[in-house]
Chain A
Amino acid sequence: MCQHHAYRLSRLFTIISLIIFLAALSVINGSYALATPAERDAALQLLTEKSSKKRGAGIDALAASGDPAAAPILAAMASGELYFQKTDKRVVIAKKQKDGYAVVDPISNEALGVLPSKGLRKIRVNNRLRRQIRGVLGGLNLSHPDAEKRLAAASGLQKSPDPALRPALKKAFAAEADKDVKAAMAMALAVIDSKPEAAAEDRLAAIELLTDSDATEARIILTQLASDTEKDANVRAAATVALDTVEDRLFYYQTLGSIFQGLSLGSVLLLAAIGLAITFGVMGVINMAHGEMVMIGAYVTFMIQEVFRSVAPEYFGLSLALAVPAAFLASGGLGVLMERSVIRWLYGRPLETLLATWGISLILQQAVRTIFGPTNREVGNPEWMSGAVELTGGVLLTYNRIWIIVFALAVLAGVWALIRFTSMGLEMRAVTQNRRMANSMGIRSGRVDALTFGLGSGVAGMAGVALSQVDNVSPNLGQAYIIDSFMVVVFGGVGNLWGTLVGAFSLGIVNKFLEPVSGAVLGKIIVLVAIILFIQKRPRGLFALKGRAVEN
Chain B
Amino acid sequence: MHKPSIGLRRLIQTGVFVGALTASVAGAAADTIKVGILHSLSGTMAISETTLKDAMLMLIDEQNKKGGLLGKQLEPVIVDPASNWPLFAEKARELISKDKVSAVFGCWTSVSRKSVLPVFEELNGMLFYPVQYEGEESSRNVFYTGAAPNQQAIPAVEYLMSEDGGGATRFALLGTDYVYPRTTNKILRAFLNAKGVADEDIMEEYTPFGHSDWQTIVSRVKAFASEGKKTAVVSTINGDANVPFYKELANQGVKAEDLPVVAFSVGEEELAGIDTAPLVGHLAAWNYFMSVETPENAEFIKKWHAFTKDENRVTNDPMEAHYIGFKMWVQAVEQAGTTDVDAVRQAMYGQTVTSLTGTKAVMNVNHHLSKPVLIGEVQDDGQFETVWKTDGPVIGDAWSDFIPESKKLTANWTYPWVCGNCEKPKF
Contacts and interface: CB of A to CB of B under 8 A. Distances in A.
A128 B166 contact: yes
Interface size class of A (residues with CB under 8 A): 35 or more
Given A375-B47, A375-B51, A471 B212 contact: yes
B4 A345 contact: yes
A387 B387 CA distance: 28
A520 interface: yes
Interface stretch (A33-41, A376-384, A417-425, A491-499): A376-384
Nearest to B7: A341
Given A127-B257, A159-B258, A400-B251, A220 B228 contact: yes
Max chain A Cβ within 10 angstroms of own Cβ: one of B165, B226, B256 = B226
A398 interface: yes
Given A387-B251, A399-B251, A472-B244, A220 B226 contact: yes
Nearest to B207: A520
Given A396-B252, A512-B215, A376 B272 contact: yes
Contacts of B216: 258, 261, 512, 515-516, 520
A474 B252 contact: no
A520 B205 contact: yes
A224 B228 contact: yes
Interface size class of B (residues with CB under 8 A): 35 or more
B208 A524 contact: yes
Interface string B51-77: 100000000000000000000000000
A359 B270 CA distance: 28
Interface in B1-24: 1-2, 4-5, 8
A17 to B, nearest CB: 39
B387 A126 contact: yes
A264 B215 contact: yes
Contacts of A408: none
Contact of A376 (B42, B206, B240, B250): B240
Contacts of B275: 378, 380-381
Contact of A472 (B43, B228, B240, B387): B240
B166 A127 contact: yes
A288 to B, nearest CB: 16
Interface in B206-263: 206-208, 210-213, 215-217, 219-220, 222-223, 225-228, 240, 243-244, 247-248, 250-253, 256-258, 260
Contact of B243 (A264, A376, A388, A398): A376
Contacts of B396: none
Max chain A Cβ within 10 angstroms of own Cβ: one of B164, B213, B240 = B213
A476 B213 CA distance: 16
B377 interface: yes
A488 B163 CA distance: 49
B227 A220 contact: yes
B18 to A, nearest CB: 15
A134 B256 CA distance: 13
B44 A476 contact: yes
A182 interface: no
A470 B219 CA distance: 16
A394 interface: yes
Max chain A Cβ within 10 angstroms of own Cβ: one of B227, B244, B251, B260 = B251
A474 B47 contact: yes
Given A127-B281, A366-B42, A376 B273 contact: yes
Contacts of B256: 127, 130
B50 interface: yes
A435 interface: no
Contacts of A130: 256-257, 281
Interface string B253-288: 100111010000000011011110010110000000
Contacts of A15: none
A446 to B, nearest CB: 14
A227 interface: yes
Nearest to B176: A521
B228 A375 contact: no
A470 B212 contact: yes
A153 interface: no
A342 B206 contact: no
B46 interface: yes
A14 B405 CA distance: 75
Nearest to B1: A345
B2 A474 contact: no
A105 B376 CA distance: 29
Contacts of B158: none
B227 A374 contact: no
A519 B46 CA distance: 28
B379 interface: yes
A235 B391 CA distance: 46
A64 to B, nearest CB: 21
Interface in B90-147: none
A89 B251 CA distance: 38
A365 B91 CA distance: 22
Contacts of A365: 42
B166 A520 contact: no
A440 B25 CA distance: 60
A219 B272 CA distance: 37
A432 interface: no
Max chain B Cβ within 10 angstroms of own Cβ: one of A130, A131, A388 = A130
A512 B41 CA distance: 35
14 contacts: A52-B164, A128-B163, A128-B165, A219-B226, A345-B1, A375-B47, A376-B240, A376-B272, A376-B273, A378-B275, A388-B251, A471-B212, A476-B240, A512-B215
Interface of B: 1-2, 4-5, 8, 41-44, 46-47, 50-51, 163-166, 177, 205-208, 210-213, 215-217, 219-220, 222-223, 225-228, 240, 243-244, 247-248, 250-253, 256-258, 260, 269-270, 272-275, 278, 280-281, 377, 379-380, 385, 387
Interface of A: 52, 80, 122, 124, 126-128, 130-131, 134, 159, 216-217, 219-220, 223-224, 227, 250, 254, 257-258, 261, 264-265, 268, 341-342, 345, 359, 365-366, 369, 373-378, 380-381, 386-388, 394, 396, 398-401, 470-476, 479-480, 512, 515-516, 519-521, 524
Given A376-B240, A476-B43, 5 more contacts: A127-B165, A216-B226, A224-B228, A250-B223, A470-B247
